[in-house]
C-alpha cells in the first residue's frame, strides 16, 4: 500500500511541477497559465515530493524509506515525462490533422 | 571568456565519457543483471527445484549431512545461498587421513538433499565480471574498473555543469528528431535517475577503496593480511582435545537470530565432534543494509556463548552501509525492481551518450559518405559494445542449455561462448558498413534473446508454458524478460532500418536549411 502511495506522491508531485512550466502549459493547454497558478502548482508539487519522504521513512524505516523514496521519485518522474511526451505529440498533431 | 568554464566542462564530459564509455556500458549491463543474480543462477541450474526452509532447520540439516559425509573434517561451514534462493553451500576442510582428491564442497537444496546440477557459474559470473572482468588479472581489472568509475564521476559532474540549462527542462523528451532526441534520451535517463547514478558510482568506488588506496592500511598494519585479520577475523581450529558430541546447532542459530533480530546467513564449525569445538553463527549479508555480518561464537559442546562480534564504529558502519546500498542485497522485490530499472537507465544513459558522439559529428562531417577513420572507429566500437555484450549474454544463456552436461570445464566454456559471440559482433561491425552492421547486429541480438525461452522449452521440462502452469514465477518471468528484451532489440532494428530509408529524403531537405547549432 505504502508503495503505491509513494508512487502516486511522486507522480503527482512531478506532474504539478511539470504543469508549472510555461513551455509545457503551452504544449498541453495551448496557452500560458496565470503566474499565481504556476506558483501554486510549483509549491504543491514540491510539497508532494517532500512529504513522500516522511511517509516512506515512518513506515519503511528511515534508511530503507530513503532509498525507496528516491527510487519512486525517479519512476514517478519517468512516467510524467512519458505521459507528457505522449500528450504533447497528440496535441501538436491535432491542429495539423484538422 | 564567459563560456570558458562550461566549454571546458563540455570537453571533459565528451572525452571522459567516450574513452571509458564502452567499458562503463559493460559494467552497467552486467552490474544491473547482478540485481537478479540469484534468479539467473536458478534459471541456469534447472535441475534444482528448491523448497524454502527456515535457516535454523536448514543449518541443522547441513550438520546432519556433514556428520554423515565428512566426519573427519577439521572444519565445516555452511552458507545460505541467499534469501531468495533456498539452499546451502557447504565447504569443509578434510582431516589428515582423507585422500587428497576427496571432495571439499557440496550444495544442498532447501530440503537438505545434495544437489546434482550442471556445472555453471550462473548469475555470479556476470556479477563478478562487473568489477573483476575476465581473462585478465583481477588486480589490474579492478584498477581498470576503478578508472572507469572515476571517469564516470567526472563525466556526471561535468555533465551537470554542461547541461545545466537542460536539467531545468528535464521533462522534455521529443522523439523522431535525430540529434535532439538522442540528447533528450541522454538527459532524461541521467537526470531522472541522477540519485541512483551518483550513488552507484560513488559507492562502487568505496567498495574497492582499500584496493585503490592501500596507504591507510599500509600505514597502520605491517601487511595486508594483518589488516584483514583485524577487520574481518577468521579464527582457525585449535588443538584437538578428545572426542565429545556436538551440541545441536538449531537452538544456537535461533538464539543468535533472536538476539540480532535478523536472519542467520552462515555457520562455521571448528573441530566438530571434539571437546574444543566452536560454532560461529554469522548474520546474513542480505538481512539488512549493513553488509558486514555480525557473529556469535558458541562452545560446540556446551552451547555456551564465548564471544560476540558486532562490527561497529562509524567508519566500518559507513563502509558497510555503502556497499549494502550499492549491492542492494537487502532490498525486497519491489525495491529490487526499482534498482534494476535504475540500472537500465544507467545503461541507456551511457549508450545514448556514446551514440550522441557520432550523431553530433556526423552532421558536421565534410562528406558523410566517407567519414574519417576516427569517426568510423567510434561508430564500430559503439556497435561492438552496445549490441555485442547483450548478444554475448544471450549466447551465455543458450550455451548453458546447449553444451552437453558432463564435459570438462563446462562453466568456463559457457563463458568462452559469451566472449566468442561478443567478439563475433565486433568483427561483423568492422567488416560491414556501419548502418548495415547496426541493423544486422540488432537483429541478431533479437534472434538470440527470442531463442532463449525456445531452447529452454526444448531442452528442459521447465519451458514457459510449463512454468506458467506450475506457477513457477522465477522461470516464467525470466523467459518473459528474454522475450521483452528481444522485442526491444527487434524494435531498435526496425527503427534504424526506417531511419535509413528516410535519410536520403532528409538529406535533400537539410541542404535547403542550415543545420541547427547545439551546445552539448
Dump pLDDT digits (tens) for A15-35: 999 999 888 888 888 888 899
Q: Does B326 fall in a domain?
A: no
User: Chain B residues with CB inside 8 Å of A11's CB?
Assistant: none
Q: What span, in angstroms and rounded, lies between the C-alpha atoms of B333 and B343?
A: 15
pLDDT of residue B177: 81
Same domain, B8 and B144: yes
Is residue B478 within 8 A of residue B393, CB to CB? The reply is no
How far lies A37's CA from each of A17, A32, A77, B165, B483, in Å? 11, 10, 21, 24, 46
Q: What span, in angstroms and rounded, lies between the C-alpha atoms of B79 and B495?
A: 47
Of B30, B128, B37, B43, residue with least CA distance to B401:
B43
Domain limits at B495? 4-45+124-208+332-504
Yes or no, beta carbons of A64 and B335 under 8 Å apart? yes
Residue with grid cell 534494476, as numbered in its chain? B340
Using CB atoms, pick whichever of B188, B289, B342 lies closest to residue A81.
B188
User: Chain A residues with CB inside 8 Å of B334's CB?
Assistant: 3, 68
* Neighbour tally for B519: CB within 10 Å: 11
Helix (H, G, I), strand (E, B) or coil at B24: helix
Is residue B297 within 8 A of residue B279, CB to CB? The reply is yes
User: Chain B residues with CB inside 8 Å of A67's CB?
Assistant: 289, 325, 331, 335
Q: Does B511 fall in a domain?
A: no
Is A89 in CB contact (< 8 Å) with chain B?
yes
* Cα angle value B239/B245/B251 (rounded, 5°): 110
Helix (H, G, I), strand (E, B) or coil at B264: strand
Yes or no, beta carbons of A68 and B338 under 8 Å apart? yes
Of B379, B361, B288, residue with least CA distance to B328:
B288
Q: Does B216 fall in a domain?
A: no
Q: Which of residues 33-62 of A touch B (CB under 8 A)?
A: none
Yes or no, beta carbons of B334 and A3 under 8 Å apart? yes
Helix (H, G, I), strand (E, B) or coil at B52: coil
Same domain, B186 and B94: no
User: Chain B residues with CB inside 8 Å of A63's CB?
Assistant: 289, 321
Is residue B237 within 8 A of residue B75, CB to CB? The reply is yes
Q: What span, in angstroms and rounded, lies between the C-alpha atoms of A57 and A51?
A: 10
Question: If DSSP states are collapsed to H, E and C, what string results for B277-334?
Answer: CEEEEEECCCCCCCCCCCEEEEECCCCCEEEEECCCCHHHHHHHHHHHHHHCCCCCHH
Q: Give the count of Cβ contacts less than 8 A between chain A and B.
A: 59
pLDDT of residue B3: 63
Give the residues across from B309 on adjacent strands: B295
Same domain, B343 and B311: no
Same domain, B292 and B374: no
Residue with grid cell 541456469, as numbered in its chain? B44
Confidence band, pLDDT 50/70/90 cuts, at residue A64: very high
Same domain, B424 and B380: yes
Same domain, B92 and B178: no
How far does A36 lie from chain B, in Å, by closest CA?
20
Q: What span, in angstroms and rounded, lies between the C-alpha atoms of B163 and B154?
A: 14
Q: Of B264, B287, B319, which closes a domain?
A: B319
Q: What span, in angstroms and rounded, lies between the C-alpha atoms of B270 and B274?
A: 9
pLDDT of residue B311: 76
pLDDT of residue B197: 95
Ordered alpha helix ranges (H), B83-134: 122-132
Is A84 in CB contact (< 8 Å) with chain B?
yes
Q: What span, in angstroms and rounded, lies between the C-alpha atoms of B122 and B481?
A: 17
Q: What is the pTM of this model?
A: 0.90
Q: Of B319, B353, B380, which closes a domain?
A: B319
Question: What ipTM goes with this model?
Answer: 0.91
User: Chain A residues with CB inside 8 Å of B172's CB?
Assistant: 23, 81
Q: Does B215 fall in a domain?
A: no
Q: What span, in angstroms and rounded, lies between the C-alpha atoms of B16 and B6?
A: 15
How far does B313 lie from chain A, in Å, by closest CA?
18
The set of cell numbers assigned to B256 is: 543468535
How far lies B29's CA from each of B24, B361, B391, B448, in Å? 9, 26, 12, 17
How far does A84 lie from chain B, in Å, by closest CA?
8
Q: What span, in angstroms and rounded, lies between the C-alpha atoms of B273 and B344?
A: 50
pLDDT of residue B51: 65
Same domain, B198 and B339: yes
Q: Does B236 fall in a domain?
A: yes
Strand B75-80 to B105-108 pairing: unpaired
Q: What span, in angstroms and rounded, lies between the C-alpha atoms of B454 and B221?
A: 55
Same domain, B255 and B360: no
Q: Does B327 fall in a domain?
A: no
Q: What span, in angstroms and rounded, lies between the C-alpha atoms of B468 and B118?
A: 23
Is A18 in CB contact (< 8 Å) with chain B?
yes
**Which strands, in side-by-side order, build the sheet including B75-80?**
B105-108, B88-93, B75-80, B264-270, B278-283, B295-299, B305-309
Q: Which residue has the higher pLDDT, A91 or B24?
A: B24
Is residue A67 within 8 A of residue B200, CB to CB? The reply is no
Ordered alpha helix ranges (H), A1-98: 2-19, 22-29, 35-60, 62-97
Q: What is the DSSP letter of B92?
A: E
Q: What span, in angstroms and rounded, lies between the C-alpha atoms of B227 and B222?
A: 8
* Cα angle value B157/B161/B162 (rounded, 5°): 110
pLDDT of residue B515: 47
Q: Which residues contact B400 (CB under 8 A, 6 or more apart)?
A: B44, B118, B120, B414
Yes or no, beta carbons of B193 and A74 under 8 Å apart? yes
Is residue B131 within 8 A of residue B141, CB to CB? The reply is yes
Yes or no, beta carbons of A78 and B192 under 8 Å apart? yes
How far does A74 lie from chain B, in Å, by closest CA?
5
Same domain, B21 and B166: yes
Q: What span, in angstroms and rounded, lies between the C-alpha atoms of B396 and B419?
A: 9
The predicted model gives A48-72 an average pLDDT of 94
Same domain, B12 and B81: no
The predicted model gives A56-68 an average pLDDT of 93
Q: Does B132 fall in a domain?
A: yes
pLDDT of residue A97: 39
Q: Which residues contact B45 (CB under 8 A, 6 or more apart)?
A: B115, B117, B118, B120, B122
Same domain, B381 and B415: yes
Is A74 in CB contact (< 8 Å) with chain B?
yes
Query: Among positive and negative, which fits the CA dihedral B360, B361, B365, B370?
Result: negative
Yes or no, beta carbons of B335 and A71 under 8 Å apart? yes
Q: What span, in angstroms and rounded, lies between the C-alpha atoms of B366 and B357?
A: 16
Output the tens digit of pLDDT for each of chain B's 520 residues: 456 888 888 888 999 889 899 999 999 999 999 999 999 999 999 988 766 667 778 899 899 999 999 888 899 999 987 778 778 889 999 888 778 788 888 888 877 888 888 999 999 999 999 999 999 898 999 999 999 999 999 999 998 888 777 666 778 888 878 888 898 899 899 999 999 999 999 999 998 887 787 777 777 777 777 777 777 778 888 888 888 999 999 999 999 999 998 889 999 999 999 999 999 999 988 888 888 888 999 999 999 999 888 877 788 888 888 889 999 989 999 999 999 999 999 999 999 999 999 998 988 888 877 888 899 999 999 999 999 999 999 999 999 999 999 899 999 999 999 999 999 999 999 999 998 999 999 999 999 999 999 999 999 999 999 999 999 999 999 999 999 999 999 999 999 998 877 765 666 565 555 444 444 4
Amino acid at each position: 500500500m505504502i508503495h503505491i502511495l509513494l508512487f502516486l506522491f511522486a507522480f503527482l508531485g512531478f506532474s504539478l511541477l511539470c504543469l508549472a512550466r510555461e513551455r509545457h502549459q503551452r504544449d498541453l493547454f495551448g496557452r500560458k497559465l496565470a503566474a499565481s497558478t504556476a506558483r501554486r502548482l510549483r509549491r504543491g508539487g514540491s510539497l508532494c515530493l517532500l512529504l513522500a519522504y516522511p511517509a516512506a521513512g515512518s513506515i519503511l524505516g528511515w534508511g530503507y524509506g530513503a532509498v525507496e523514496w528516491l527510487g519512486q521519485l525517479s519512476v514517478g518522474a519517468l512516467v510524467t515525462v512519458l505521459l507528457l511526451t505522449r500528450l504533447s505529440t497528440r496535441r501538436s498533431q491535432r491542429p495539423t490533422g484538422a | 571568456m564567459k563560456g570558458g568554464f562550461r566549454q571546458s566542462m563540455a570537453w571533459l564530459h565528451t572525452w571522459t565519457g567516450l574513452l571509458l564509455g564502452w567499458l562503463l556500458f559493460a559494467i552497467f549491463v552486467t552490474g544491473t543483471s547482478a540485481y537478479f543474480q540469484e534468479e539467473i543462477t536458478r534459471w541456469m541450474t534447472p535441475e534444482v527445484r528448491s523448497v524454502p526452509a527456515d535457516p535454523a532447520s536448514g543449518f541443522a540439516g547441513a550438520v546432519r549431512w556433514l556428520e554423515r559425509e565428512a566426519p573427519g573434517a577439521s572444519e565445516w561451514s555452511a552458507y545460505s545461498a541467499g534469501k531468495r534462493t533456498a539452499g546451502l553451500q557447504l565447504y569443509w576442510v578434510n582431516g589428515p587421513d582423507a585422500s587428497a582428491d576427496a571432495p571439499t564442497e557440496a550444495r544442498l537444496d532447501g530440503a537438505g538433499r545434495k544437489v546434482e546440477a550442471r556445472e555453471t557459474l550462473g548469475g555470479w559470473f556476470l556479477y563478478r565480471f562487473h568489477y573483476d572482468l575476465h581473462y585478465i588479472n583481477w588486480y589490474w581489472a579492478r584498477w581498470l574498473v576503478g578508472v572507469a568509475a572515476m571517469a564516470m564521476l567526472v563525466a556526471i559532474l561535468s555533465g551537470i555543469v554542461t547541461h545545466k540549462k537542460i536539467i531545468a527542462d528535464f521533462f522534455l523528451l521529443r522523439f523522431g528528431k535525430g540529434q535532439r532526441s538522442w540528447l533528450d534520451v541522454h538527459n532524461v535517463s541521467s537526470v531522472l535517475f541522477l540519485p541512483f547514478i551518483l550513488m552507484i558510482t560513488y559507492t562502487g568506488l568505496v567498495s574497492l577503496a582499500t584496493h585503490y588506496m592501500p596507504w591507510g592500511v599500509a600505514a597502520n598494519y605491517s601487511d595486508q593480511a594483518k589488516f584483514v585479520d583485524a577487520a574481518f577475523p577468521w579464527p582457525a581450529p585449535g588443538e584437538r582435545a578428545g572426542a565429545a558430541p556436538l551440541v545441536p546447532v538449531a537452538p544456537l542459530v535461533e538464539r543468535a537470530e533472536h538476539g540480532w533480530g535478523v536472519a542467520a546467513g552462515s555457520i562455521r564449525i571448528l573441530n566438530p565432534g571434539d571437546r574444543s569445538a566452536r560454532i560461529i553463527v554469522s548474520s546474513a549479508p542480505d538481512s539488512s543494509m549493513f553488509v558486514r555480518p555480525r557473529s556469535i561464537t558458541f562452545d560446540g559442546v556446551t552451547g555456551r556463548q564465548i564471544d560476540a562480534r558486532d562490527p561497529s564504529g562509524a567508519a566500518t558502519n559507513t563502509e558497510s552501509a555503502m556497499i549494502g546500498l550499492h549491492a542492494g542485497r537487502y532490498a525486497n522485490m519491489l525495491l529490487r525492481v526499482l534498482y534494476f530499472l535504475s540500472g537500465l537507465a544507467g545503461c541507456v544513459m551511457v549508450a545514448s551518450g556514446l551514440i550522441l558522439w557520432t550523431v553530433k559529428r556526423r552532421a558536421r562531417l565534410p562528406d558523410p559518405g566517407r567519414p574519417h577513420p576516427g569517426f568510423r572507429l567510434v561508430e564500430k566500437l559503439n556497435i561492438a559494445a552496445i549490441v555485442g555484450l547483450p548478444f554475448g549474454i544471450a549466447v551465455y544463456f543458450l550455451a548453458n542449455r546447449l553444451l552437453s552436461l558432463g564435459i570438462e570445464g563446462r562453466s568456463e566454456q559457457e563463458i568462452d561462448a559469451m566472449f566468442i559471440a561478443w567478439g563475433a559482433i565486433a568483427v561483423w561491425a568492422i567488416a560491414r558498413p556501419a548502418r548495415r552492421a547496426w541493423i544486422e547486429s540488432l537483429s541478431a541480438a533479437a534472434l538470440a534473446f527470442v531463442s532463449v525461452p525456445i531452447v529452454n522449452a526444448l531442452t528442459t521440462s521447465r519451458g514457459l508454458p510449463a512454468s506458467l502452469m506450475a506457477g513457477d514465477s522465477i522461470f516464467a518471468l525470466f523467459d518473459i524478460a528474454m522475450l521483452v528484451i528481444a522485442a526491444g532489440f527487434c524494435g531498435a532494428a526496425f527503427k534504424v532500418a526506417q531511419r535509413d530509408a528516410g535519410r536520403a529524403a532528409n538529406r535533400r531537405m537539410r541542404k535547403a536549411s542550415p543545420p541547427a547549432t547545439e551546445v552539448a
